[in-house]
Amino acid sequence: MSSTDIGDLLGTGKEAEVYEHGALVLKLYRVTASKGAAFREAAVLALIEPFGLPAPKVSDVRQHGDRWGLVMTRACGQPFADAMISQPALIPKYLDEMVRLHRQIHRQSGHALPGLKARLASNIRHAPSLNTAHRERLLRGLDTLPNGNVLCHGDFHPWNILGSPGQAMVVDWLDACAGSPAADVCRTYVLIRHAEPEIAACYVETYARAGGLALGDIFAWLPFVAAARLAEGVSKEEDELIRMADAGWSDI
């Protein structure tokens, strides 16, 4: 495939770039990503397609130069985060829609996907900022939490939801897994907090009210979710993540 086969750059993230590809889009993972990443996300999208979720539909996995990517349906509109940051009065409306979408995902079974707790444990083991004693303490604590078996997006935040309330699409499904809804909500909190701490806190409260979850059950995951994120190369968040990995939920 030549450079003429793709159109304008539509968006860019830490792991990939998204380009126009006719009526579809081509998501190209960066050179540092493995071939398996493209196939893994394609497999997730194929697996969840029967659920009827507002997610892209994959049609092809292909190589472009020394990068791998997938061709899929296009998400129209801007990220929720853009509207929420530029028009704060709209934040409650967008939070309600985020919760509705997140709960829709959590109603599905994740039985065919990797376990969320196993992924957290693997990342904690590979987090370079943790000493051995802290790492082992976290792994013991993680082992006491429930496994869960519902579909978890794993990267659910307002930069990964495109469109407007009622007509939105959730993208970036590479980290989808099976686990506890409370853990997935806590992951959302950690992902939003560095950029928008007030929105992060409001999201958890909004989900807890709608989903009948106790805040304590959500934030019980905080040390483990924060510690696992240390393995993702987010140096600007490192000090904050270490503090959360040490904290109880009442300390945030």
Tell me the pTM. 0.94
Q: Alpha helix (H) ranges present in the chain?
A: 35-48, 80-86, 91-106, 116-125, 132-143, 181-193, 197-211, 215-219, 222-229, 238-246
Q: Phi and psi dihedrals of 127, rounded to 5?
A: -75, 115
pLDDT tens series, the chain, 252 aa: 444 467 899 999 889 999 999 999 999 999 999 999 999 999 999 999 999 999 999 999 999 999 999 999 999 999 999 999 999 999 999 999 999 999 999 999 999 999 999 999 999 999 999 999 999 999 999 999 999 999 999 999 999 999 999 999 999 999 999 999 999 999 999 999 999 999 999 999 999 999 999 999 999 999 999 999 999 999 999 999 999 999 754 454
Domain assignments of the chain as residue spans, ordered by start: 3-73, 80-251
User: What CATH number labels 3-73?
Assistant: 3.30.200.20
Q: Which CATH number fits domain 80-251: 3.90.1200.10, 2.60.120.1440, 3.40.190.10, 3.90.1150.10?
A: 3.90.1200.10
